Structure 1
Amino acid sequence: MLALQKLRPEPGIALHDVAAPAAPGPGDVLIAVEATGICGTDLHIAAWTSGYASMKSAMPVTLGHEFCGRVLQAGPGVPVEAAGQRVTVRPSVLCHDCAACHAGDFDHCTGRKGVGIGRNGAFAAQVLVPWENCVAVPIAMPPEVAALTEPMTVCHEAVETAGIRPGDRVLVIGPGTIGQGIALFAEVAGAAEIVVVGHDDAARLATVRELGFPNTADSFGRSLTEAVAPWTGAGLFDVVIEAAGVPSIVPEALSLLRKRGVLVIAGIHAAPATIDLTALVRDHKQIRGTYRAPVEAWPQVVDYLSKNAARVGEMITARLPISRADEGFRLAAAKRDSKVIILQDEVRS
């Protein structure tokens, strides 16, 4: 089967034929992949930026962790009714061997491996995963929308981490998939005003507006503070969520918070950020990090996607077959598209 792989710890990815997965063992299922999203993590891996050295031992490894598919075959110990189900997959696979796992504290597993990072992923026709990682999605949900579940759980967790309350004024920095999803869940949380800012991001900001968020700004050629000036005249923000992965904007993001406001860092940064700790202390501000969503968030996100499939589908601006995955990566890296989805050829026909 055709698969998109990371072969070596250096820049680059390769699309080539690989053997299909073996029959599923105990607790595993074989999934026929329908749709897989290109994630910012995939772009970092392709460019081989810092923070992914742990992947070396898994190479060559098939990428892809945002996906949807149907269970093709179930291994021993998996319920017989699993066969044929449409599922999305939590990509963090537990080791079941570390102290945290033995204690039942699975969220703190120290031996976890990521689908598409530490083990083969879903930029291929088939992928082998544990059944316990599968989350059922409605059969009527479009596969490409179901493939958005994983990034949307990240967005859901960012909003939960921020503690957004009804009436809050929220600034979202970064208009990509994560920023767009954060805006959607901030709306659900009752935010009174949501502003989304990008940098040289006309296409993705247009998608933000299509999703129903008219308050957008582009900081290209000016500072972040200048870009959001039309909204700070009414006061600073209650919550700022950074989803751009640009360390240099963190100090300015902090300055746009009201006293006792909350800055949430959702972006992945390739370098440290410098902040004014004295200002942080005197203004009682908080900085919180957010990353993986807990297991219980997944059904909630699937329910949201099911009820809002048409609207959320506006986030997807390019759909390409697996044979054109390299083109999809170029589109995603160039920020010309909000979300690029790779479809298996048979799904497109």
Structure 2
Amino acid sequence: MHIFEWSGGYDFMAPLLPLTLGHEFAGRVIDVAGDANGLAPGALVAVIPSTPCGSCAHCLSGAAESCERRSAKGTSADGGFAPWITAPVVNCLAAPNGVDDELAALAEPLTVAQEAVLKGGVTRGDRVLVIGPGTIGQAIALYARMAEAAEVVVVGKNDLLRFETLRALGLRDLIDIGDGDLETALASRFADQKFDIIFEATGVPEVVQEGLAFLRKEGVLVVAGIHPRRAALDLTRLVRERHQIRGTQRAPRHVWPRVLDSLVTEGERIRHMITHRMPLDHGVEALELARTRRASKIILSPGV
């Protein structure tokens, strides 16, 4: 969506355009060249979009998700908004029994959310605030609940449809600030109740500073949004409160099997995140629906 809107944060793509978008996708294997790694034609796979170089300092130290020379489907190479695509066998993870095509297609954004929850260190009894009820925010809230957080509050702004999705996911503590501002809306309820962990999933830089006002001393704020401009922070307050700000983006490979397992145990609940299903050749229409918040997560299918 950020790329479609060209709202900032993806300027590195400009020299690579045009290319086919789509970094969240799954598909059926048609053919395998070389070592099949157990995959056969017809197998349903979720595809890890990033391919690390394998030789840089990050890769050699076991942090391939931080590779600075990686190739990524949908951002630096043609992506999944196509009837066919090639991908390295090692990037193709077989979907578990009971996971269908559309659930498998959710794997990539779910790994981003699961990694955010792991980065935040959510544990039993934590009070968690999620700012931003889009797909990533929805999944963060779900995985925080699965991590046994005692309280998970989600905040949005004129997000009726997404809040319906959150309710279907089992989340109940939802705050729509409407046309108001975040600090005023939260202060009326949580002035004396700070959160252990706050997740920013909006891409609005001001939210980072606003969220810190509701973080307990030594609490953690995880930034998951892609921002079009820099944020201004009260660093003196951050130091005195001993706050921690952690950035998160791609998930390490070991997170993917964990997410695929969650699609087995929570698949029908997670399916509620999908609000629309459309043919691939209606992709621009689908992106416009999502941009204007008339849809949440849309599944595009070739041949539908």
**Same topology, TM > 0.5:** yes
* Structure 2 counterparts to residues 194-233 of structure 1, below 5 A: 194-229=152-187, 231-232=189-190
**What residue is the counterpart of 1:61 in the other structure?**
19
8 Å contact from structure 1 (residues 204, 336) kept in 2: no
CA drift at 1:229: 4.1
**What residue is the counterpart of 2:258 in the other structure?**
300
Judge which range, 111-120 or 57-66, deviates more.
57-66
8 Å contact from structure 1 (residues 162, 288) kept in 2: yes
Residue 69 of structure 1 aligns to a residue whose secondary structure is: strand
8 Å contact from structure 2 (residues 64, 252) kept in 1: no
Compared CA separation, residues 328 and 132, structure 1 to 2 (3 A) = same
Residue 79 of structure 2 aligns to a residue whose secondary structure is: coil
2:98 to 132, 137, 140: 140
Q: Which structure features the higher share of strand residues?
A: 1
CA drift at 1:98: 3.5
Structure 2: how far apart are the matches of 1:101 and 1:233? 44
Deviations 1:127-163 (A, max 9, x none): 0111111111025312111111000000001111111
What value does the CA root-mean-square deviation take over the aligned residues? 1.7
* Structure 2 counterparts to residues 45-194 of structure 1, below 5 A: 45-79=3-37, 81-101=39-59, 105-194=63-152
8 Å contact from structure 1 (residues 158, 182) kept in 2: yes
Q: Which runs of 5+ in 2 are unaligned?
A: none
AA in 2 matched with 1:121: G
Structure 2: how far apart are the matches of 1:315 and 1:251? 29
Matched, 1:341 2:299: yes
CA drift at 1:258: 1.2
Residue 225 of structure 1 aligns to a residue whose secondary structure is: helix
Q: Which runs of 5+ in 1 are unaligned?
A: 1-42
TM-score by length of 2: 0.94
Matched, 1:237 2:199: no
Q: Percent identity?
A: 46
Paired residues, number = 304
1:323 to 267, 281, 286: 281
AA in 2 matched with 1:204: R
Larger-gyration structure (1/2): 1
CA drift at 1:255: 0.4
Structure 1: how far apart are the matches of 2:6 and 2:15? 15
**What residue is the counterpart of 2:241 in the other structure?**
283
Structure 2: how far apart are the matches of 1:101 and 1:235? 42
Structure 1: how far apart are the matches of 2:232 and 2:39? 53
CA drift at 1:77: 3.1
Structure 2: how far apart are the matches of 1:80 and 1:218? 47
CA drift at 1:333: 0.4
CA drift at 1:114: 0.9
8 Å contact from structure 1 (residues 71, 86) kept in 2: yes
CA drift at 1:331: 0.6
8 Å contact from structure 2 (residues 96, 261) kept in 1: no
